[in-house]
Amino acid sequence: MRFPTKQESQLRNEVAILQNLHHPGIVNLECMFETPERVFVVMEKLHGDMLEMILSSEKSKLPERLTKFLVTQILVALRHLHFKNIVHCDLKPENVLLASAEPFPQVKLCDFGFARIIGEKSFRRSVVGTPAYLAPEVLRSKGYNRSLDMWSVGVIVYVSLSGTFPFNEDEDINDQIQNAAFMYPSNPWKDISGEATDLINNLLQVKMRKRYSVDKSLSHPWLQDYQTWLDLREFETRRGERYITHESDDARWEEHADERNLHYPKHFIMAPNLDDMEEDPYKGAARPSSPADSQRIYPKWHPIPYIEHYF
């Protein structure tokens, strides 16, 4: 009898999880077969990864516009995982694959060897992940939950924009987080928006209950940006599949563009389907609490409904 090695155990864990995942933002498992000596797993062929993109970019960092485009896709894929009570546990740029060499490519999460099934209010204690991207609760061998992935997203955003890691591993994370001059030195952060650092700060929260969730991150002003929405819609239009943005926000962004005399691509305008129209446009969604809310620069974001065939 052959006892599984740690590596083989992780591989089988990855296969078991991927067999139940079907989403455009998650790498597709083609097949698996094994011989007495080997286990073979065949994944879809992709182009490269986010780390390679960062390292090959000017000054080894990404512009905000591209980072927003990539991070939104990561969050949409994470939302699908967390809905199914799956926590990736090893999110990092190397595990964010690129589907093409396009300037604004599709991304897919991969490497689910450390992934765990964790309920919304459950905790795990097993050792997982890569230290530089791990939340404090894991490094201190405390219980962790899906918010672990959100800390990793914060590190990914930080690394993408600055080309550096936010923390020194041999120093206390609490002390480093409270030292803004250490966390955000003027070079390069003076050229990066305050909205970006605000999202990072809300993701790199030592207390799990204060850490932003996927939906809170997607609704953050840094990602609720007209140019980002245009980039994502152009991508979805080229792909012929809509899974990142949602039609419930179209009218809002069209009005946003009209009020500011911004270009709104005509091919984004779709004739309404009378059979699908509701009497109350805010039915099932948050209604603006005051006139000021409806006049804010960024239209109010609504959580995107799940699409049945991705389950």
Active site residues: 90
200 burial via Cβ count (<10 Å: 0-12, 13-18, 19+): buried
> Using CA atoms, how far apart are residues 11 and 17, in angstroms rounded to an integer?
10
Residue 144 is classified by DSSP as: B
State whether residue 79 is helix, strand or coil.
helix
8-state DSSP, 304: P
CB atoms within 10 A of CB 298: 18
Q: How many other CB atoms sit within 10 Å of the CB of residue 8? A: 14
How far is it, in rounded angstroms, from Cα 86 to Cα 120?
Answer: 10
Alpha-carbon gap, residue 36 to 235, rounded angstroms: 44
Q: From 112, 99, 90, select the one nearest 49 (Cα to Cα).
A: 99
Q: Which of 171, 153, 257, 164 is nearest to 212 (CA)?
A: 153
Count the neighbouring beta carbons within 10 Å of the beta carbon of residue 229: 25
Q: Closest Cα partner for 110 from 6, 22, 175, 25?
A: 25
